[in-house]
Amino acid sequence: MCINSQGCNNNVIRTGFHNISISFLFSHFTFDVAHGLRLDSPNPVADVENMVAKAIRDDAMDATLDLEERLLCAHCDSLQIHIKREKESAENRRETHQQEQLQGLAKHIFRGGWDDNNANTSDSDSSFVVSYLINSCGLSESEAITASKKFNFKTTTKPASVLTLLKTYGFTQPDISKLINKYPSILSSDPHKTLKPKLDFFKSKGLSGPDLANFFSIDPTILKYSFDKVIIPSFDILESIVHSDQTVIKMIKRNHWILSANRVKRVMVNLELLRNQGVPETKISDYLIRHPRVFTADADKFRKIVEKTKEMGFNPFNTIFLVAIHGLTSMTEANWREKKDVYKRWGWSEDQLQLAFRKNPRCMTASEKKIMETVQLEYTDAKESLLQAARKAPVGALGFEVQRNKCAIIVRLNVADKLASTFSFRHDSQSDFEVAT
């Protein structure tokens, strides 16, 4: 087949695509196609088909790229519009926030303008409460201002009812002032549903008049407890141990916190531990009455102290076992070391300290300052007469006694003649006299 118009009857090449004229080929693919065809090609039709297919693919790819470019441009335009709108929105929010801040600042500084009514209302309410606390409850101005920050009221109906109820139970004006100063929100209590049942309960246990008023005005913590869930069950548990309402009242006076649910649970756990160690029930109840705080210690801490007390040689059958527990619960490990250091500065050995604590554990319950003052005083006063006093001492051992509300140190030896060989006084330029072994 010839592709030259001079050697052909018609000017057409028949291909698998279409009947394509030579003039069309040269007009549309004048360079690429014409140069791609070879006159001596054994299959010029196939060559033309390949050339046409390639051209179509190239045109399609160009069209696709053009479309993608247009879509990308459109997307970019849309994105730019979105970004612009977001910037405008953020700017508007920022301006609004600044305006609100300026308005708040202006209101704070000038207390006037557009929101003056709310500010005046708040000030008026506060002044009203403070005035009531001063005039009706007997609080000082500073006490009333402090109390007014803890609660608020707009009418005097409920506070007046509370005051009336307290007076009917024997509360004087000083009692009321003391109570409200410590527990101002009591004025917001329901006098008949919340307050009256608690007052009636303790009145039935033997408290009335001045005793009842004094009981609550000193520490109104109990009035914050739930009557049904805390006060009644806790009181009953303690009464089952000491077998007397009046005794429970004495315990509560010494430590109001013992009536809280958590502390009653601790007391029960710790008492059971002591029973298991062989401490007599009578000694437990007696010490609980006099020192209830000892038994409100954390159960794990209390258990470790009991174990330490036994390791130090105390007998659970003796009251001094509980005294030692009392001493150890009243201080931390750091306090224990500091107090031991005070005694060691005066020449005491570890064995002497252990012996002294076993004789009277209260020697470690005083403060470091009190121990230092007492030891120095006793050694200074006794430096001339210690030998004579020791010869008159009936029994031997290093011990402690409480004299004139202080821990006074009494040094005794079971053999008077042994004093000179066991102890000798030497002067210390920094701390008067000390005992040396």
The reply to whether 87 falls in a domain is: no
Q: Which two tokens stand for residue 143?
A: 């006490």
Is the residue at 41 inside a domain? Answer: yes
Q: Comparing 349 with 65, which gets the higher pLDDT?
A: 349
Please report whether residue 163 resides in a domain.
no
Can you say how many angstroms the Cα of residue 194 is from the centroid of all Cα atoms in its chain? 29
- Residue 150 pLDDT: 86
Residue 209 lies in a domain: no
Q: Which range in 180-184, 354-358, 359-363 is most confidently predicted, on average pLDDT?
A: 180-184
How would you classify the pairing of strands 406-412 and 424-427?
unpaired
**Length of the chain as a residue count:** 437
> Which comes out higher in pLDDT, residue 4 or 149?
149
Return the residue matching tokens 């001045």. Answer: 210
pLDDT, averaged across the chain: 74
| Pair (296, 382) in one structural domain | no
Q: Band of the pLDDT at 261, cuts 50, 70, 90?
A: confident
Q: Which of 42, 76, 110 is the last residue of a domain?
A: 76
pLDDT band at 151 (very low <50, low <70, confident <90, very high): confident
pLDDT confidence tier of residue 302, bands split at 50, 70 and 90? very high
Helices (H) and strands (E) in the chain, counts: 20, 6
Report the percentage of the chain scoring pLDDT > 70.
58
Q: Of 295, 330, 365, which residue is a domain's last?
A: 330
Q: Where on the phi/psi map is residue 138: left (φ > 0), alpha (ψ -120 to 50), or beta?
A: left
pLDDT grade for 336, boundaries at 50, 70 and 90: confident
Same domain, 316 and 233: yes
Which of 34-43, 59-68, 385-394 shows the lowest mean pLDDT across its residues?
Answer: 385-394
Q: Are residues 314 and 357 in the same domain?
A: no
Tell me if 248 is assigned to some domain: yes
Q: Please give the Cα distance from 89 to 95 (Å, whole number).
A: 10
State whether 346 and 321 are in the same domain. Answer: no
Structure tokens at 227: 């009557």
pLDDT tens string 361-418:
888 887 778 777 766 655 555 444 444 444 444 433 334 443 433 344 444 333 333 4
Residue 356 contacts residue 384 (beta carbons within 8 Å): no
Quote the domain boundaries for residue 323.
225-330
Q: Would you list the DSSP string of 218-246? A: H-GGGGGS-IIIIIHHHHHHHHHHH--HH
pLDDT at 319 over 90: yes
- Please indicate, yes or no, if residue 275 is contained in any of the structural domains: yes
| Burial class (CB within 10 angstroms; exposed 0-12, middle 13-18, buried 19+) of 370 | middle
Cα separation, 12 vs 24, in Å, equals: 10
- The answer to the question of residue 256 being in a domain is yes
Contact 247, 289 (CB under 8 A): yes
If asked whether residues 326 and 255 sit together in one domain, one would say yes
Which residues fall within 8 angstroms of residue 376, CB to CB, at 6 or more apart?
A: 346, 431, 432
Other Cβ atoms less than 10 A from the Cβ of 20: the count is 20
pLDDT above 90 for 121: no
pLDDT tens digits for range 67-83: 666 666 665 666 667 66
Residue ending a domain, among 76, 103, 127, is: 76
Q: Check whether residue 325 and residue 409 sit in a common domain.
A: no
Flag whether 424 is in a domain: no
What would the mean pLDDT of 321-333 be, rounded to a whole number?
92
Residues 322 and 370 in one domain: no
Does residue 421 or residue 150 have the better pLDDT?
150
**Residues 314-343, mean pLDDT to the nearest whole number:** 91
Same domain, 392 and 359: yes
Residues 381 and 319 in one domain: no
Confidence class for position 354, pLDDT limits 50, 70, 90: confident
CB 26 within 8 A of CB 36: no
Are residues 285 and 355 both part of a single domain?
no
Task: Give the SS3 label for residue 356.
Answer: helix
209 in Cβ contact with 215 (< 8 Å): no
CA distance between the termini of the chain: 137
| pTM assigned to the model | 0.58
Residue 18: phi and psi, rounded to 5, are: -150, 175
Provide the pLDDT confidence category of residue 287 given band limits of 50, 70 and 90: very high
Number of structural domains the chain divides into: 3
In terms of DSSP H, where are the helices of 111-172? 116-135, 141-148, 157-168
Backbone angles phi, psi at 377, to 5 degrees: -65, -45
pLDDT at 107: 52
